[in-house]
Structure 1
Amino acid sequence: MSRPHSTRWNIHDIPDQHGRTAVITGANTGIGFETARALAARGATVVLAVRDPEKGARAAEEIRLATPTAHVDVQRLDLGSLASVRAAADQLRTTHPQIDLLINNAGVMYTPYRTTADGFELQFGTNHLGHFALTALLWDLLPPARSSRVVTVSSAGHRLGGPIDLDDLHWQRRPYNRTAAYGHSKLANLLFTYELQRRLPETGPQAVAAHPGGADTAGSKAAMSHASALTRTAFALLRPLMLQPPAMGALPVLRAATDPDAQGGQYYGPHGFQQSRGLPTVVRSSPASYDTELQRRLWVLSEKLTGIAFPVRRALPDPSPADPPAATDRVHE
Structure 2
Amino acid sequence: MFRFSLADLPDLTGRTAVVTGASSGIGLVTARALAERGARVVLAVRDPEKGEAVAATMKGPVQVRALDLADLSSVRAFAGDTPGPIDLLVNNAGLSLGPLSRAADGFELQFGTNHLGHFALTNLLLPRIRERVATVASLGHRIGSLDFTDLQRERRPYRPNAAYAQFKLANLLFAAELQRRLTRAGSPVISTAAHPGISSTNLMRAEKKPSLGFRVEKFLVGLVAQSAEEGALPTLYAATADLPGDSYVGPDRLWDMRGAPTPVGRSARARDGSAARRLWEVSEDLAGTRFPLDASAIPAS
TM-score interval (norm. to shorter): over 0.9
Alignment of structure 1 residues 272-311 onto 2, 5 Å: 272-311=253-292
- Residue 97 (structure 2) pairs with residue 113 (structure 1): no
Please, which runs of 5 or more residues in structure 1 have no aligned partner?
1-5, 315-333
Q: Tell me the distance in 1 between the aligned counterparts of 2:187 and 2:151.
A: 34
- Residue 257 (structure 2) pairs with residue 257 (structure 1): no
Alignment of structure 1 residues 165-184 onto 2, 5 Å: 165-184=147-166
**Do 2:203 and 2:218's aligned partners in 1 also have CA atoms closer than 8 Å?**
no
The structure with the largest strand share of the pair is 2
Secondary structure in 1 aligned to 2:114? helix
TM-superposition CA deviations, 1:177-234 (whole Å, max 9, x none): 11000000100000000001011136520000000111102xx247455997467424
Q: Tell me the distance in 1 between the aligned counterparts of 2:216 and 2:140.
A: 15
Query: What's the counterpart of residue 125 of structure 1?
Result: 112
TM-superposition CA deviations, 1:1-27 (whole Å, max 9, x none): xxxxx6511111111000000000000
Query: What's the counterpart of residue 66 of structure 2?
Result: 76
Q: Tell me the distance in 2 between the aligned counterparts of 1:43 and 1:84.
A: 28
**Do 1:98 and 1:141's aligned partners in 2 also have CA atoms closer than 8 Å?**
yes
Kindly tell me: are residues 230 and 170 of structure 1, through their superposed partners in 2, closer, same or farther at Cα, counting changes over 3 Å? farther
Kindly tell me: are residues 117 and 182 of structure 1, through their superposed partners in 2, closer, same or farther at Cα, counting changes over 3 Å? same
Alignment of structure 1 residues 137-216 onto 2, 5 Å: 137-143=124-130, 148-161=131-144, 163-201=145-183, 204-216=188-200
Q: Tell me the distance in 1 between the aligned counterparts of 2:95 and 2:207.
A: 12
Q: Tell me the distance in 1 between the aligned counterparts of 2:78 and 2:229.
A: 27
Kindly tell me: are residues 197 and 31 of structure 1, through their superposed partners in 2, closer, same or farther at Cα, counting changes over 3 Å? same
Residue 61 of structure 1 deviates from its aligned partner by 0.5
TM-score (norm 2): 0.93
Residue 313 of structure 1 deviates from its aligned partner by 6.8
Residue 312 of structure 1 deviates from its aligned partner by 3.9
Q: Tell me the distance in 2 between the aligned counterparts of 1:203 and 1:136.
A: 14
The alignment yields a C-alpha RMSD, in angstroms, of: 1.9
- Residue 89 (structure 2) pairs with residue 102 (structure 1): yes
Query: What's the counterpart of residue 55 of structure 1?
Result: 50
TM-superposition CA deviations, 1:92-146 (whole Å, max 9, x none): 13xxx21101000000011100111111111111000000000011011112xxx
Aligned length: 293
- Residue 75 (structure 2) pairs with residue 85 (structure 1): yes
Kindly tell me: are residues 44 and 186 of structure 1, through their superposed partners in 2, closer, same or farther at Cα, counting changes over 3 Å? same
**Do 1:160 and 1:179's aligned partners in 2 also have CA atoms closer than 8 Å?**
no
TM-score (norm 1): 0.84
**Do 1:267 and 1:282's aligned partners in 2 also have CA atoms closer than 8 Å?**
yes
Q: Tell me the distance in 2 between the aligned counterparts of 1:12 and 1:211.
A: 20
TM-superposition CA deviations, 1:20-66 (whole Å, max 9, x none): 00000000000000001111110000111000001000110011xxx
Letter in 1 for 2:245: G
Letter in 1 for 2:132: R
Secondary structure in 1 aligned to 2:258? coil
Moved over 3 A (4+): 221-232
- Aligned sequence identity (%): 51
- Residue 249 (structure 2) pairs with residue 268 (structure 1): yes
